[in-house]
Amino acid sequence: MNFCHLRTLRIKKLQCQTLDRSFSYFKTCKVVHKERGKALLYINHVILYKEPLDDIIINMSGFKLLKTRRYQFLNETLDFCAFSRNLMLATGLIGFIINPVLNISNINPTCPLQQKNVVFNGFQVDENTLKEIPVPNGLYMFQLKISVKSKWISDVKTFVNRVD
């Protein structure tokens, strides 16, 4: 008799959408599954805007997806420029995610942001660690939206499946 209770939280799909093509576009948006429950996220977001950016808002939402509905259980917003002045401002799930993201990306966490190409090369997600998150079985969507100068410019959705 096997008493091990195996749970899996697996990244199913990564979807990147440009909401303002005159401002930016995605060059790369993919998830690569490796052995032993590891997944790597590759995102290359090219910014066409010429001037430095100083009004950047990041919003993270979490949804449980059902056949006819989606239930929101997470909604956090971060002012990137306020965060860049005081790195301790990020709390909650955004605070948990933002520091590893800054370590593997080419983002310089200062404002105004002057980069033209934001690259996340191989953001490693350990699905074996994520399985300890106490959520019921089902399909989930985590959405990351970015607003610049009070206009939403990009939307990144990560679809995750939880099964026992």
pLDDT tens for the chain, 164 residues long, are 443 445 677 888 999 999 999 999 999 999 998 877 788 889 998 888 888 888 899 999 999 999 999 999 989 998 888 887 776 666 777 777 777 777 778 887 777 887 777 887 777 777 666 666 677 889 999 999 999 989 999 999 999 998 77
Element spanning 101, H or E: helix 92-104
Q: What is the pLDDT of residue 4?
A: 46
pLDDT for position 97? 74
Helical (H) or strand (E) element with 80: helix 80-85
- Cis omega (within 30 of 0) on the bond before 112? yes
* CA 53 and chain centroid, separation: 20
CA of 150: how far to CAs of 2, 41, 56, 114, in Å? 54, 27, 8, 17
From CA 39, how far away is CA 35, in angstroms rounded? Answer: 8
Q: Is 131 exposed, middle or buried (0-12, 13-18, 19+ CB in 10 A)?
A: middle
The rounded Cα 10 to chain-centroid distance in angstroms is 15
Q: Which residue has the tokens 């808002």?
A: 57
- Looking at residue 111, its pLDDT comes to 79
* pLDDT of 114: 77
Q: pTM surpassing 0.95?
A: no
Q: In what order do the strands lie in the sheet with 56-65?
A: 8-18, 151-163, 138-148, 56-65, 70-79
pLDDT confidence of residue 63: 95
Delineate the domains of the chain, giving CATH numbers in brackets.
8-163 (2.70.220.10)
